[in-house]
Amino acid sequence: MAASKGAIWVIAETNADGSLAKSSTEVATLARTLAEAAKTEAAGIVVAADPKTAAAELADYVPRVVAIAEKAADGNAWSQVAAQRAAAILTDETPAAVLSGAGPDGRDVAGTLAALLERPVLVNATAVAWADGGPSVEMSVFGGKLVTTSAFADGEWGIVTVRPNVVTAEKAKAAGKVEPGKADGELALPVVKIVERIEEAASALPIEEARIIVSGGRGVGGEEGFKLVQEIADELGGAVGATRAAVDSGWIPYAQQIGQTGKIVKPQLYLALGISGAIQHKVGMQTAGTIIGVNRDPDAPIAEFADLVVVGDLFEVGKALLEALRAR
Amino acid sequence: MQIVVLTKPVPDPAAAAERLTSDGRLDRAASPAVINGNDEYVLEAALKLVEAHGGEVTLLSMAPPNAVETMRKGLAMGAHKGVLVTDPALVGSDQGSTIQVLSAALGELEYDLVLAGFDTSDGVGGVVGAAIATRLKLPYLSSAAKIEPDPDAGTVRVRRISPTGFDILEAPMPALIVGTQLLGEPRYPSLKGIMAARSKEIVTRTLADLGLDAGAVGGAAARTKVTGQEKPPARGATQVIRGTPEEGAKAIVELLAARRLI
């Protein structure tokens, strides 16, 4: 069955400047790995008003890229426009599988494609292998308490959304080819206009991409307290994260929230200051390489899953830590 | 305004009692259910909108019969009525079934807005909203931090979280909106609300009521399957340091150095 199947396709996302999104470099790397195992080809689709830059970048990862220049992708909500153009190609190609990111745009594209093509979908993959002629998809469910493996039913192909930071992006040995794709035909779904774009003073590095994260919780006490968190993060070359309590209090933007209703991160080091480690926060950071907590309460839940817990006042320990780091 | 809020009962994350049966389905008897956390944010937004513009909020769930218990909490927060789609044939549904069934149930309801939470805490998928909007050909506005309808103009504006800030989206109503935590803290049910919820109506609908064939959805028609389950690998032992701040700092620096993080 596998031999007659089509390619493993990636629906790419682009950044505001037209470059390829980091999550798409990861998903494209995964598609290439799976294609090798499935003895088929990996291919990608870029839909943008000007797809040139992202398509060229995507060709560093997969041998075949279809670049669709779609005017409606500019000035309108992207995902449904992109999904409709991608659906037209995938209808012709009969893929072996389709992959997208599991972030806000990737999941929107996946949901739309699933409905347009009437295909099953597996979500938020933490790993994907190729087995028995289809993707074998590992997922972390119930806040990380269980790891399940799922597959599409026999003879089905479907769409898989892939969580950021679970694959290390790696370019192919040789660059692939970019071909233009069609952007004709009516867009049947309602087009949603973007009437205004508001740029915020963005933090230097998206928190999902940080190698080191220093996070503060309710115990940090306020914006003033987060200055110490920031200083430690600067000293370690990391980014600042926070719990929902700190975000709800207005001490730090939502973009930096880690946990169930915020971001899910997997840094090499997670330093938690004044964070109890309640399940709602734990689900966002429990797969970090090294977890260190500083907390007054030795019985806080973080003591159950951290590598090291320092019992004490976060300001006193934090200041001592800054001095110790600077003295090195 | 008529607003339908999609709510999913999920195993209570705080209870941490989730487990799967041998056939890969959630053992619902083992774990108490609550309204999915992200659904509470959109419910709160819906309640504020009808407070400002008039109208009613209807909760819509596809779940086992005992979901009336979790729906009561939404009614206690202030939703006006509930619709529960429940049918023995729906056991073992995949996302595709959920999408078909909720779309069919929405077909029987009148609404200006359908609201759904960003994702659910059990599987963290977040694809059902987009798929329902697509099936019903509704304008789809996602990652909402703010929802501002203009009932006179028949349009709605959404402040959508973007990687670099926010995009302001606009679309005609009816529309389907997926919302986030930035919509604001959900209210706690008041005692009055809890009392009032007891007499609010929860309509139960079966697949036959919705005109759906029991063989075309649910476990019988599932196009995905769970092939394995295991506990995640355990983390190593925790080292606990009690002492002066300097001793604590020293222990941190030593661990960072040992693991080549500095």
Rounded to whole angstroms, the Cα distance separating A9 from A94 reads 10
CATH class of A207-327: alpha beta
Q: How many CA atoms lie within 13 A of A206 on its CB side?
A: 18
CA-based nearest distance B201→chain A, Å: 30
CB contact under 8 A, A310 and B231: no
Segment B160-187 mean pLDDT: 94
Hey, what amino acid is at A118? E
Write down the ipTM of this complex: 0.94
Q: What pLDDT is recorded for position A13?
A: 97
B258 chain-A contacts, CB cut-off 8 A: none
For chain B, the domains span: 2-221
Rounded to whole angstroms, the Cα distance separating A117 from A130 reads 22
The listed CATH number (3.30.1370.60, 3.10.20.740, 3.90.1150.10, 3.40.50.620) that belongs to domain A2-180: 3.40.50.620
Find, in chain B, the residue whose alpha carbon is nearest to that of A17.
Answer: B164
For chain A, the domains span: 2-180, 207-327
End-to-end CA distance of chain B: 57
| Domains A2-180 and A207-327 belong to one CATH topology | yes
- Per-residue pLDDT for B30 more than 90? no
Q: How many CB pairs under 8 A join A and B?
A: 298
- Per-residue pLDDT for B83 more than 90? yes
Q: What pLDDT is recorded for position A72?
A: 95
Rounded to whole angstroms, the Cα distance separating B55 from B202 reads 18
Find, in chain A, the residue whose alpha carbon is nearest to that of B136.
Answer: A189
Rounded to whole angstroms, the Cα distance separating B39 from B28 reads 19
The answer to whether B116 touches B88, Cβ cutoff 8 Å, is no
A20 phi/psi in degrees, rounded to 5: -75, 135
Average pLDDT, chain B: 94
- Spell out where B152-238 has E strands: 155-162, 165-172, 175-179, 202-205, 224-230
- Per-residue pLDDT for B19 more than 50? yes
- Among the listed residues B139, B135, B124, the one whose alpha carbon sits nearest the alpha carbon of residue B100: B135
The answer to whether B147 touches B177, Cβ cutoff 8 Å, is yes
Q: What pLDDT is recorded for position A54?
A: 98
CB contact under 8 A, A328 and B168: no
- Per-residue pLDDT for B205 more than 70? yes
Neighbours of A315 (CB within 10 A): 17
Hey, what amino acid is at A215? S
Q: What pLDDT is recorded for position A3?
A: 37
pLDDT tens for B50-63 read 999 999 999 999 99
The answer to whether A306 touches B236, Cβ cutoff 8 Å, is no
Task: Say which CATH architecture domain B2-221 belongs to.
Answer: 3-Layer(aba) Sandwich (3.40)
Instruction: Quote the tokens at residue A43.
Output: 């291919």
The answer to whether A235 touches A326, Cβ cutoff 8 Å, is yes
Mean pLDDT in runs of 10 for chain A (328 residues)? Answer: 71 95 96 97 98 98 98 96 97 95 96 97 96 95 91 95 93 97 92 93 72 95 95 96 94 91 91 94 93 95 96 97 95
Is 0.90 surpassed by the pTM of this model?
yes
CA-based nearest distance A184→chain B, Å: 20
Task: Suggest the residue from B19, B134, B146, B247 to mutate for an interface test with chain A (most A CBs closer than 10 A).
Answer: B134
Helix and strand counts by DSSP (H, E) for chain A:
8, 15
Segment B144-155 mean pLDDT: 97
The answer to whether A135 touches A160, Cβ cutoff 8 Å, is yes
Residue for token pair 């899910």: A264
A195 chain-B contacts, CB cut-off 8 A: 157, 168-170
* Beta strands B224-230 and A146-152, pairing class: antiparallel
* Residue B160 contacts A where some CB pair is shorter than 8 Å: yes
